[in-house]
Structure 1
Amino acid sequence: MKKFRRVWGLLAALWLIVLLPMGVASAQDVSFDITEQDIVADIQSNGNVKFTDIQTYDIDFMNGAEFKLDYSGYELVDYRVGILEDDGDVRFFEESSSTAQGTFSVRDSSASGIMTFRVYNRASDETVKFYYEYELEALVTNYADTADLNRRFGTNDSTTDVSVTILLPGLVENPDDFRAWGYGAPQGEISLGEEDGRSAVFATVPNRTSSQFTEVQTIFPLSMTPDNPNVENVEMKQEIIDRSEAQVQADLKALEKDKGKNRLYLILGMVFPPILVLLATRFYFSTRRKLNPNPVQLPEYIYELPEDITPALMATAYYRSYPTTDDFSATMMDLARKGYISLQEVEKEKRKLLNIGGEKTTVLIKREVTAENGPLLEDLLYHEKRAYEYILPPGENEITLEELQDRTKKDKAFQKKQYSKWQQFMNDAHIEGPKLSDSAFLKRRESMFYAIFTMSVPFVVTIILVILRLNEVLSWNVLKQMPTLLWIYGIVAVVTHIWGIILVILNSTRPIRSAKEDTQRQMWDGFKNMLDDIGNFNMREIASLPLWEAYLVYAIALGVADKVTKAMEMEFSQAELETGSLGRGFYHNPYIMTSMMRNSVQSSVASATPSESGHSGSNSGGFGGGFSGGSSGGSGGGTSSGGF
């Protein structure tokens, strides 16, 4: 019996040895972010609404996506699932219970009105756009005086940018008959317009948190949905308008209430100015000594690249919180230097109206990466990928900055996508840059220092009351009867302001930095000084042409590109320059790659950036603006997305 036990024990141990690697391999954690969700709701004449829902996943690892669709109260018909490819085509999956890759399964819970789609598409370290297409019957309600669509769009579980386009069956002639309101996210924007000759509602919610939702209610003429069986013979148009306007007014009152709270907090902050100034001073000197007890002094000029990081990360690590359009231009140049794109000066398209004083040329951007050659897009950092997708939208192999700007201005949907890419570029550089320099935590502490200081300097009336503890001095009438106290007040007020100015100057000239950040910042400053005074040095002794092309990328972000390009043209022959990674397309007229490219990028980003909304209830009248608070009771609140 003991022999059998030993044999079984040995077999069990062998099975564990064999199965353990399989268990480890299968235990890889599922990790992903849903960065974008683009929804098109196409209203049909019979009141049905056809949905196209594209959800962009930024995946570390996952076996597939899960989408729970809330269709409660309506019939769900004609669904399809697939993947949106880079060329714009959809690769549709087959519905199957096999769980095989490239298939999807559905689980319908009619009691709760939830249909769950499971899409089997294992992926790692890539971006995947899951494509859902479905139709809800009679989702529109035909009242006696208006047609109404009231729906919650997007999902509930993940933080993402949501874009919704609602297409009406035709073009509305009377603007008063077509209105829309957004609910659920204060940062949302909603507008009315046209697309492909049809009236449309455009709603966007950037950076939607998991506690927010995207709800849109739109009313439009009954003539748009004449075959709709969902009819309620009651007049509702004015009630919907009144209810929505009441929500707008409620938002205004809430805003005023918030302003009152802020004023109260400000007054409380004014009570302790001398204490806060002392804290700010102590914080400044003690933190500087603690973080950098033995500061070093590096040479004025640094002749080598301090770090092998991207220009956008260099900028946010050492010079500014968010990248600028100059940093974006530098990223474009870096992509060209690395072989992902090529840049070339071309003539602008002829216009009917002469653009007097404007530039006659623009930059042509060509895609150089294919499946067969060149570097891999997967090797790019996240913010580089967003910049690449911004300047070369999916399906485009070449485009000029002029065309990019024009398309951004004219195409609302494209504008939203471009703005999302720009925001993602900025946010990623803003977060990742400070991590390289130890400054992520330090900038928060420095911000705290400034917050303390800005509460300390104004309203120095309270200084005397606190320092002298004159609690009984509560009015200017008492102060007027005490000239000595007024003199003391004046002296302390002047001293407080001078003290504050000295702190600001100290923090500007000798900011709080760790030893690592201080050393790296001095190196980048020295590198910038070298580029700025490049005419005083022998360029060939400093670096070869390929290195100078790399240095030029950083010169754009550092604001000294014009000097570097001029020096390179003087030092290197045209034949040498044409052999470089940037090629003749750049050196034929380097000005376009600095000033003109900067201007074009600034114009394109400005076109992609929506105007600032007012308060959270700015969509007064339903003709466009921001989102309101609360909800209008739209359907679809149980919809959610995830992965497995």
Structure 2
Amino acid sequence: MKGSLKPVKETCTNPAFLKIAITATLLVLFFLVPSASARDYTLEEATTNITIDPAGIVHVEESISYTFDGDYSEVFRVLKVSPGESIRNIQGYCSDNACTFRVEETSEGYELIGELLTPTPEKVTFFVSYDHYGVVKVHNDVSEFHYKLWGEEWEKSLGNLKGSITLPVENESEIQYWIHPADYTQNVSVEKNTLYLRTGEIPSYRWYEIRVVFPRIESPNSSIVQIDNSEGLKEITAIENEYQRKVSILNSLYGLTVLFALIYLAVPFLIYFKYGREPKIDYEAVYEREPPTDSKPAIVNAIMQGEIGIPTMDGFTATVMNLANLGYISLRTITSEESKAYGLFKSKSEDILIELESPESYAKAEGKFPELADFEKDVLNLLKKHASGNKISWNKLKKELGKGTDFYDFILAWDEKVKRHIAVEKLFKSTGNKYMSIFGAITTIAAIIYFIAVSNFFPSDAFPRASNVKILVILIAAFGIVMIIFSAVFEKALGRWTPEGRLFYERWNNFKKYLTDFSALKEHPPESIELWDSYLVYATALGVAEEVLKNMSLVVPAEQMETSHFYYVYHSFGQFGSGFESAYSSSAPSSAPSSYGSGGVSGVGGGSGGGGGGAR
């Protein structure tokens, strides 16, 4: 037997590999394993059991159940004491002896603190009890207990609240009660002399209160209750009826707001179907292999690319190129060298030189130069203004145009001059677009006024549904703003072409398809370089110059390319459009808690108790 080959176990001893593996593991642990410092807590539920004795002393027993994730040092409950009130006999403890209880007096009342054990238990229920004096208000006709069972200073939402109020009466017929806001209440009942209630979730920084009216306490003691020498029931009933009326109005407003939002969403579609659908025309061509009309490049741009009748910067660039194509200017590349590092290194930079034909050339070649439109003459005069000796470099021109606001003002005036050459009303109907802009503006303004009115008349703490209404109103206003912007930016979406305008658009769009379709160009190329130059000008106006340049380089023979007006600037052609755009941007100028009721009866949200608490 010659022997046998045994498998060899390979071990990875590459230090780089080990370093990468360790780093990757640490990163995974960092992102997947919760940070040790992360902590949070929730308020699962709370109970408030209140007993009012015949003299009007209010005995309160509360429990707040916490669930902790992380380390906390204490739980706390803030009790506020209003003028004419006092709190006595404060006691407290935690479930399973999880805390040490203490009381600290504050400027507004008391802070009941439970110092937690270490480590922090996962679940803790904090129990407190106290006697509240001066809460019951005794009017000439009835006694009133107006109390916040849950205060507005809790930073966490509460899962649910269970409560009971036991009153010094014989039976339920002697009790009248009102709950604010009722939206949180899930169940309420009265058995003999005790009122029971249960809520759903109460959001953070929201209060929940009850007002109870019962027979007047005989011989009230002013050290125990507040005495109000007025008829209270009539005023209380008026306040509560007003509150219920507003709740009813708000519920109706909410339904109407939802209905309006649905109708509002449908309006753009209705406007489109009425005013935005295009007319049918008898035209089925796939391509146009030559410019379908003799329109100036800026005119084509203003109709096809920009807001109807207003050219984009591509239209201005195409006009400059057309001046070169017509022989009024010429373009060529110039190269310069710069010395750097004390002459040790040299770098080359390229620029485009713009040369204008002299007036003498016009005189000698009468009839050679086609007549220019007034807006084309303006562009030529702009170049002359910045030229020296009928020459100017593109980089210098770009810098000069970007200084001050002259170029910005020039473009605004130039746009209007181009627009005067277009019979817009014969090509395009903007009715739907105008209606959408007006509708968006009116509804946005109305939504803002509506939002302010709802905020003023229906505070969210007293009327939680008002928050839902305001959210809907905000969405409606936002949609209105979007519609205004959409109408301004996409004018053609909600307007429509006339039959004449649609034929113009379809023919020029098919010419654009021909210019950008390499196979179509290769199969049916323009017959001369002069046509190529003309097509490149229109391609610039249509926003597809880069694609057409690429196709030209693949289709046109090199010897023909050398005779093009743009041969010397092909490789730096992109500087034109972006340069005018940046110069235009550079020259642009700089842009620049409520209550209801008065007297001896507090309004909704004005009950005693409340306060807040939490954990820290």
What band does the TM-score fall into relative to the shorter chain?
0.3 to 0.5
TM-score by structure 1 length?
Answer: 0.41
TM-score by structure 2 length?
Answer: 0.43
Q: Which structure is higher in RCO with an 8 Å CA cutoff and minimum separation 6?
A: 1
